[in-house]
């Protein structure tokens, strides 16, 4: 995707994610290399395998039809943007909503949440803002913030940088567990819009906008209503209400995080199936166009790094499309089809 006339393109050519220090393929190879060691710890109570959005297990001695669903994640270098803007309440909400979505795609309801904050030097004001956001999102999603860890580690973290990670546990009845295994060729894909980058791709975004284009957080985003800082800090959307509304017809759902649409959609497709997604089915927030043009970012890096405006893809049978769209609200669209094959084909051009 070439830059438009007047775009600020670096002399070194297109900017890729690996240029910003993140190699997605290497990360996937690393996970594959440790898979057998991870599986060696599984007992008969483990229900899911590596690669799902969350891990599932039964409670030994408990109700065999009640599954615990657990996941953990971080907000990555979005923390650098928060520091640049001086606003830290939003990253706590990002973290909770991200984790809620990761268990929600399996049909689970959140139960409890725990956080980890690692700092080189304790900053009580920053910590307070982060926990304010965590608590707000936990209340919104109906889960309890039951504990966590605040670590002061000089020499590991250099102030003002810090790290933020969260772990969520939820539950789902076995007969309501969703994993994509029932998806068949001909099923349709519904797309739900994102609020922006959510919590992925910030190393690339920062390299392009701040390092390459020399923009400031308070610069306006062309074609948008927000500043660069506001657009980058837009809170990661929780899809829990829509996922609940889809229960009974949902065959599988992909939370579009690191790896973009192709990487995450493949995680729910059974063997021998691929998908065709029309990327022109939904509007793309202006901040993505800004990143694409200022960095001359290639199309495969855009769609393999960012959600590009679609934060969740849900698979339903053809006869349930209208019901699904009505359940998810007016901003949901039909955006693709499951078909025989092994790849995810992205058709059309983004609706800037």
* CATH code where residue 172 lies: 3.30.1330.10
The CATH number linked to 231 is: 3.90.650.10
Is 310:335 a contact under the CB 8 Å cutoff? yes
Q: Please name every residue paired with 278 in a beta bridge, in sequence order, or none if there are none.
A: 347
One domain for residues 151 and 211: no
One domain for residues 130 and 240: no
Look at the chain and report how many structural domains it folds into: 2
One domain for residues 196 and 301: yes
Neighbouring residues of 160: CB distance < 8 A, sequence distance ≥ 6: 83, 123, 126
One domain for residues 99 and 221: no
One domain for residues 164 and 197: no
The answer to the question of residue 75 being in a domain is yes
One domain for residues 217 and 341: yes
One domain for residues 97 and 157: yes
Q: Please give the Cα distance from 231 to 287 (Å, whole number).
A: 7
One domain for residues 243 and 336: yes
The answer to the question of residue 224 being in a domain is yes
**pLDDT at residue 12, rounded to an integer:** 58
The answer to the question of residue 169 being in a domain is yes
One domain for residues 165 and 259: no
The answer to the question of residue 33 being in a domain is no
Q: Looking at 124, 146, 176, which one is the last position of a domain?
A: 176
Q: Looking at 126, 142, 176, which one is the last position of a domain?
A: 176
One domain for residues 341 and 208: yes
The answer to the question of residue 27 being in a domain is no
The answer to the question of residue 12 being in a domain is no
Neighbouring residues of 342: CB distance < 8 A, sequence distance ≥ 6: 272, 273, 274
**pLDDT at residue 7, rounded to an integer:** 40
Residue 9 buriedness (CB in 10 A; 0-12 / 13-18 / 19+): buried
Q: Looking at 154, 176, 198, which one is the last position of a domain?
A: 176
Domain with 165 in it = 42-176
One domain for residues 49 and 114: yes
The answer to the question of residue 322 being in a domain is yes
The answer to the question of residue 26 being in a domain is no
Tens of each residue's pLDDT in the chain, 352 residues: 434 333 444 445 788 877 777 777 777 788 888 888 989 999 999 998 888 999 999 999 999 999 999 999 999 999 999 999 999 999 999 999 999 999 999 999 999 999 999 999 999 999 999 999 999 999 999 999 999 999 999 999 999 999 999 999 999 999 999 999 999 999 999 999 999 999 999 999 999 999 999 999 999 999 988 999 999 999 999 999 999 999 999 999 999 999 999 999 999 999 999 999 999 999 999 999 999 999 999 999 999 999 999 999 999 999 999 999 999 999 999 999 999 998 999 999 999 9
One domain for residues 171 and 268: no
Q: Please give the Cα distance from 200 to 219 (Å, whole number).
A: 21
């Amino acid at each position: 995707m070439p830059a438009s006339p007047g775009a600020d393109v670096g002399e070194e050519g297109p900017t890729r994610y690996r240029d910003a220090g993140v190699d997605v393929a290497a990360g996937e190879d690393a996970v594959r290399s440790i898979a057998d060691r991870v599986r060696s710890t599984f007992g008969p109570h483990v229900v899911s395998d590596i690669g799902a959005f969350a891990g599932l297990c039964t409670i030994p001695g408990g109700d065999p039809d009640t599954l615990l669903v657990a996941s953990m994640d971080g907000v990555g270098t979005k923390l650098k943007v928060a520091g640049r803007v001086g606003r830290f309440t939003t990253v706590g909400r990002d973290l909770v909503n991200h984790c809620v979505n990761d268990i929600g795609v399996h049909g689970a309801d959140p139960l409890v949440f725990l956080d980890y904050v690692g700092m080189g030097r304790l900053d009580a004001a920053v910590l307070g803002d982060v926990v304010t956001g965590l608590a707000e999102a936990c209340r919104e999603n109906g889960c309890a913030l039951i504990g966590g860890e605040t670590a002061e580690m000089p020499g590991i973290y250099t102030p003002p940088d810090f790290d933020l990670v969260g772990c969520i546990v939820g539950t789902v009845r076995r007969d309501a567990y969703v994993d994509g295994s029932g998806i068949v060729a001909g099923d349709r894909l519904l797309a739900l819009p994102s609020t922006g980058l959510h919590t992925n791709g910030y190393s690339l975004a920062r390299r392009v906008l701040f390092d390459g284009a020399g923009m400031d957080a308070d610069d306006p985003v062309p074609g948008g209503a927000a500043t660069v800082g506001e657009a980058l800090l837009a809170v990661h959307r929780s899809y829990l209400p829509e996922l609940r509304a889809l229960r009974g017809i949902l065959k599988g759902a992909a939370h579009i995080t690191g790896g973009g649409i192709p990487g995450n959609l493949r995680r729910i497709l059974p063997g021998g199936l691929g998908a065709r997604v029309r990327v022109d089915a939904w509007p793309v927030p202006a901040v993505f166009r800004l990143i694409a043009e200022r960095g001359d970012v290639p199309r495969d890096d855009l769609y393999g790094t960012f959600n590009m405006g679609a934060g969740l893809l849900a698979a339903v049978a053809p006869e349930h499309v209208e019901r699904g769209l009505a359940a998810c609200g007016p901003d949901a669209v039909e955006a693709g089809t499951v078909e025989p094959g092994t790849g995810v084909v992205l058709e059309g051009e983004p609706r800037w």
